[in-house]
Amino acid sequence: MEKKIIALLLAILTLALTTSVLAYTLLNQNREESKETQTRTFIFEFPPNTQKIINGTLAINITFTIKGDRLRAIAYINDTLYISHKLLCLTFDSNNDTQVDAYDSAMIMYADNFTQRSAIVPGGPVLLPMTLPQQSECHVCVFDGTQHIYNATYLLTEVNHDLVQMNYQLDEYICIRFHFGLEW
């Protein structure tokens, strides 16, 4: 009888210990995953007297998320007119010289899901390359009738620094430079 009680107590103790170790492991794994994922959102608004892209206030809501070795950027732009060559261009300080300039690689993302590598004029327009756009492997743009949604993913090795220049459109364009403030 004593052997049965001892065996039962050992089984209960083993089960309790195993459950505790499993719970501890899962909690630490969730903590590590939350450390790996960082997110930052910015909202930019441009009243009608500062832009001619839409009638009314142009709003760009962009979220940057770092998870693992990738940076994801999702931009919501309240532009209700679809034209296949509408573009969002993100240029990161890819050479890590603390400025965004013509030496950094710009990614033009078109509304029709084509893309081109390009360059920018610092604080100014996107320079269109003399090559044809290619089907994009790094971004998707969805137009839902009320807004353009650009969703792009970059390797952190392509980004190198949190300074970005964001351009929307070509002729009447919006250009913003800012630090998105995530660390890796």
DSSP string, 46-84: E-GGG--SSSS-EEEEEEEEEETTEEEEEEEE------T
pLDDT tens for each residue of 61-76: 999 999 999 999 999 9
Q: Which of 181, 153, 177, 178 is nearest to 38 (CA)?
A: 181
What pLDDT is stored for residue 122 in this prediction? 87
Q: Specify the pLDDT at position 36.
A: 81
The confidence score (pLDDT) of residue 183 equals 86
**Beta carbons of 22 and 35 less than 8 angstroms apart:** no
The domain spans of the chain are 1-36, 38-179
- The 10s digit of each residue's pLDDT in 96-151 is 898 999 899 899 999 999 999 998 988 888 988 888 999 999 999 999 999 999 99
Q: Which fold has domain 38-179?
A: Immunoglobulin-like (2.60.40)
Per mean pLDDT, which range of 5-19, 36-50, 130-144 is the poorest?
Answer: 5-19
**Residue 33 pLDDT exceeds 70:** no
Q: Return all residues near 144 (Cβ < 8 A) that are at least 6 apart.
A: none
Q: What are phi and psi of 91, to 5 degrees?
A: -120, 115
Q: What pLDDT, on a 0 to 100 scale, did the predictor assign at position 96? A: 86
If pLDDT is split at 50, 70 and 90, which confidence band does 161 have? confident
**What's the rounded Cα separation, in Å, for the pair 126 and 90?**
10
How high is the pLDDT of residue 130? 85
Query: In this predicted structure, what is the pLDDT of residue 19?
Result: 47
Structure tokens belonging to residue 38:
């960082």
Per-residue pLDDT at 129: 87
Q: Percent of the chain having pLDDT more than 90?
A: 60
Contact 91, 116 (CB under 8 A): no
- Predicted local confidence at residue 86, as pLDDT: 95
